[in-house]
Structure 1
Amino acid sequence: MKLPAALEPLEGPVFRGLWLAWLAANLTMGMNDIAAAWLMTSLTPSPVMVALVSTASTLPMFVLGLPSGALADIVDRRRYFAATQLWVSLNAALLALLALTGQLTAPLLLLLTFSNGVGLAMRLPVFAAIIPQVVPRAQLAPALALNSVAMNLSRVVGPMFAGVLLAGLGTAAVFVCNVVLAAAAMVLILRWRSEPQASTLPGERFVGAMRAGIVFTLQSQRLRAVLLRAFLFFLQTAALVSLLPLVARELHGGGPGTFTVMLSCMGIGAVIAAFVFPRWHARFSRDRFVDAGTLAAALLSSLIVAVPELWLALPAMVGIGVAWLSVVNSLTVSAQLVMPDWVRARGMSIYQMALMGGAAAGSVLWGQLAGLTSVRMAIWAAAALGVLALPAMRRLR
């Protein structure tokens, strides 16, 4: 039985195994961030500290994106991918130990969240470079959408599972579970037997590889435009994502369950969008997706804080998930299509730097603004920025 077009890449056993590893890896990252964010609200009432959890998680991608991409282009990608999971496993084990012994403080939680983010920074470029290597070009768009499905499915299952563990056993149980998931992802990666890629290009050294990636980016006008649009979108959406624990607390009857259910709804929206994306892609351009997704995310996030009711917030989060995937998938496909294979991991690492740089900068900016004014004003300001930047972005196409 032939799978639907959106699922065709999963027919290949190599992509299917790597996709399952990617799903497990993202479950690990998502559950860690959820537990850390909620734990921080218990350790301190400061909006700045709560928002800094998101910054600590995403900043490593901005700092280490290019070096990790250079490594992914010049070393064995299979072993490198597995090593990132080993790092995450050890970090989760340390977090679990400190949480179980009651030694986890707010600054230490930020430090270990940053360390966990290092695993994400090292993992994203290599997996992005592997996808075009294991699927035909015609299946690239649905494969990238499935990549986003794995990330967002983890936002559905991860928050639900983390919420159960948080309510029943505490944050330490989440960190222990992360050790198991990260180890499972490493086993799946090691089962993949990658084939050596023949190349007529000379070998590269680490610093020279980074320099070549930067030069390629500076010379590609299309890639520069994609990077700027990605940075601004993540700068905008960082307000709601980083302040979501506080938004959940301010909803009527808000609590740990509310926070995790809201994240799950966002993941559900992204999964829904991934399955209808091939049909939409045939009718609308990628630029249309980016414009519509930016406007929808701005409107719905503003609505959530304007009317703090759970019955409104949950469907709005589903809509934000649809908008988020529409924008990110469109920008990711655009970035992939302008990169040759020899520089793909570096190019995607720079692309991920733009995404995570926007998220990290937004978390700090909107967290500070929330501390000076209110959570509601910070999210409204972020939405206004996204809408006002659209006319300028259209000129870059």
Structure 2
Amino acid sequence: MAVLSTLTRALAHRNARIFFGASLTAWTGLWMHRIAVSWFAWQLTGSAFWVGMVAFCDLAPAVIASPIAGAIADRVDRVRLAMVTQAAIGVVALLVGSLVLAGQMTIGLLLALEMLSGIAASFAQPARQTLMPGIVPRADLPAAVGLNSLCFNVARFVGPALAGPLIAYAGVAPAIFCNAFAYFIATATLPMLVIDPAQRRGHPATASLFGEVREGITYAARHPGLGPLLAFAAVSAILLRGVQEILPPFVERAFGRGAEALAFLTAAFGIGALVAGTLVAARGRLGGTTRYAVLAIACQAVATAGFVITGWFPLGLVAGAAMGAAASVHGISVQTLAQSAADPAMRGRVLSLWGLITRGCPAAGALALGAAGEVFGLQWPVLVAVALSALVVGWGMVQLPRMAASLEQG
């Protein structure tokens, strides 16, 4: 019970219940959509490269859009920005589902629509994340960050668990329509939030938009803790997260299974992330969080190696759960540190860089892995990435004392 007390304290606030309920709804739809479009791309092309391209087009727009989105989130009404962008995600999902149902979807059109959705998501992410200090008191902020990640990982379990059977028996279109419906519901709940105007609105414009983008990047790069932490997270995501973005080729080539197995595997990632994330989020303190962020990547590398080496599906599920657990610990730790250490005037821009890392870097990894997989097979490129990630962990351990001293004061 002590493990859950910190999390339930955060949920005692009305705003938090509305916010996280909407998040859980939207992200459940999102995971149904991701399973559906990746499986559709695999059925349509039979190519790991094109499956990687679908993930790339969804996630890669963050490279350009996220820094701009962060600067905008620091100067506008964040609730309205979140409403507009979430509604846009729902509209695109509705269009994708309609074209698939009508038999008019091509791989080129799917890539274009996934890119539009990715752009909208890149703006929604900092808008929502910057609202978090306004929905709970500062003392409950670490728990709120943990709850945010837990909602994502609960959805990561529930979404595939719903999508797999639905795709198997009714096709991919209904799963995509569920995403549209979920985002429309999440958009409708945002006006119910009662947030202090100081937290709801960013600061008045102090420079040009691109000047503020540059200020945010410079601030993060020069910060003694945020700079190395975000760099560590970015390189780790490129090397290790690509596997999770192109699961259909692994399911069919490595394990010889179909859509239901893809749902089981994605759910295993979510279960591992949920259990580990609950324990980390319930800590409710900053001390030691930087060490968690670094060591979690070492665990993720080991689990990833185990996943690609085995051809036995039950062991693949266990390795997938371990990968999800490690990724969740890392993500919660980095986001908690970024929320706590960033200057309030820079919070949107710092969190947009975290959004860039969580979306753009896995996209790059997925594209590289998909292309290499067509030439060398799926196993060896992943093992090379795991070996390189060991070097990154070594660098992180060297930087750990300096990062912790800067990030764990707040």
Coarse TM-score class (shorter-chain normalised):
over 0.9
Residue type matched to 1:374 in 2?
A: G
Q: What pairs up with 1:188-337 in 2 under 5 angstroms?
A: 188-197=189-198, 203-204=205-206, 205-278=208-281, 285-337=288-340
Q: 1:153 to 1:279 in 2, by over 3 A?
A: closer
* Paired residues of 2:30 and 2:159 also in contact (CA < 8 A): no
Residue 172 of structure 2 corresponds to residue 175 of structure 1: no
Residue type matched to 2:119 in 1?
A: V
* Paired residues of 1:33 and 1:113 also in contact (CA < 8 A): no
Q: What pairs up with 1:350-365 in 2 under 5 angstroms?
A: 350-365=353-368
Deviation per CA, 1:113-166: give whole Å up to 9, x if none: 111212221111111111122222221211111111111111101001111221
Q: Which residue matches 1:106?
A: 107
Q: Which residue matches 1:6?
A: 7
State the alpha-carbon separation in 2 of the partners of residues 391 and 28 from structure 1.
38
Q: Which residue matches 1:366?
A: 369
Q: Which residue matches 1:118?
A: 119
State the alpha-carbon separation in 1 of the partners of residues 378 and 239 from structure 2.
14
State the alpha-carbon separation in 2 of the partners of residues 11 and 283 from structure 1.
21
Structure 1 residue 301: Cα displacement: 1.7
DSSP-derived class of the 1:394 partner: helix
Per mean C-alpha deviation after superposition, the further-off stretch among 250-259 and 220-229 is: 250-259
Q: 1:20 to 1:200 in 2, by over 3 A?
A: closer
DSSP-derived class of the 2:246 partner: helix
State the alpha-carbon separation in 1 of the partners of residues 175 and 51 from structure 2.
18
* Paired residues of 1:239 and 1:382 also in contact (CA < 8 A): no
Deviation per CA, 1:68-87: give whole Å up to 9, x if none: 11111111111111111110
Q: What pairs up with 1:29-178 in 2 under 5 angstroms?
A: 29-178=30-179
* Paired residues of 1:6 and 1:274 also in contact (CA < 8 A): no
State the alpha-carbon separation in 1 of the partners of residues 203 and 184 from structure 2.
35
* Paired residues of 1:366 and 1:378 also in contact (CA < 8 A): yes
Deviation per CA, 1:353-383: give whole Å up to 9, x if none: 1332321221122122111101111221221
DSSP-derived class of the 1:254 partner: coil
* Paired residues of 2:74 and 2:202 also in contact (CA < 8 A): no
Q: 1:352 to 1:162 in 2, by over 3 A?
A: same
State the alpha-carbon separation in 2 of the partners of residues 239 and 377 from structure 1.
14
State the alpha-carbon separation in 2 of the partners of residues 170 and 293 from structure 1.
37
* Paired residues of 1:370 and 1:378 also in contact (CA < 8 A): yes
* Paired residues of 1:243 and 1:375 also in contact (CA < 8 A): no
Per mean C-alpha deviation after superposition, the further-off stretch among 284-293 and 67-76 is: 284-293
Uncovered stretches (5+) of structure 2, i.e. residues with no partner: 401-410
* Paired residues of 1:248 and 1:255 also in contact (CA < 8 A): yes
DSSP-derived class of the 1:103 partner: coil
* Paired residues of 1:78 and 1:194 also in contact (CA < 8 A): no
* Paired residues of 2:59 and 2:363 also in contact (CA < 8 A): yes
Per mean C-alpha deviation after superposition, the further-off stretch among 249-258 and 322-331 is: 249-258
Deviation per CA, 1:164-222: give whole Å up to 9, x if none: 22111111111211221111101111222333118996543533432332332233132
State the alpha-carbon separation in 2 of the partners of residues 363 and 239 from structure 1.
4
Q: Which residue matches 2:408?
A: none
* Paired residues of 1:69 and 1:346 also in contact (CA < 8 A): yes
State the alpha-carbon separation in 1 of the partners of residues 260 and 332 from structure 2.
29
DSSP-derived class of the 2:105 partner: coil
State the alpha-carbon separation in 2 of the partners of residues 366 and 93 from structure 1.
30
Number of residue equivalences: 397
State the alpha-carbon separation in 2 of the partners of residues 347 and 295 from structure 1.
25
* Paired residues of 1:226 and 1:334 also in contact (CA < 8 A): no
Using the aligned pairs only, state the percent identity: 26
Q: 1:284 to 1:202 in 2, by over 3 A?
A: closer
State the alpha-carbon separation in 1 of the partners of residues 350 and 202 from structure 2.
19
Structure 1 residue 239: Cα displacement: 2.9
Structure 1 residue 240: Cα displacement: 1.4
Structure-1-length-normalised TM-score: 0.94
Q: 1:280 to 1:387 in 2, by over 3 A?
A: farther
State the alpha-carbon separation in 2 of the partners of residues 34 and 384 from structure 1.
28
State the alpha-carbon separation in 2 of the partners of residues 339 and 151 from structure 1.
23
State the alpha-carbon separation in 2 of the partners of residues 375 and 200 from structure 1.
45
Residue 24 of structure 2 corresponds to residue 23 of structure 1: yes
TM-align CA RMSD? 2.2
Q: What pairs up with 1:328-347 in 2 under 5 angstroms?
A: 328-347=331-350
Structure 1 residue 47: Cα displacement: 1.5
State the alpha-carbon separation in 1 of the partners of residues 377 and 184 from structure 2.
41
Structure 1 residue 231: Cα displacement: 0.3
Uncovered stretches (5+) of structure 1, i.e. residues with no partner: none
DSSP-derived class of the 1:197 partner: helix
Deviation per CA, 1:63-110: give whole Å up to 9, x if none: 200111111111111111111111011101111111111011111111
Q: Which of 354, 364, 375 is equivalent to 2:378?
A: 375
Per mean C-alpha deviation after superposition, the further-off stretch among 180-189 and 280-289 is: 280-289
Q: 1:280 to 1:185 in 2, by over 3 A?
A: closer
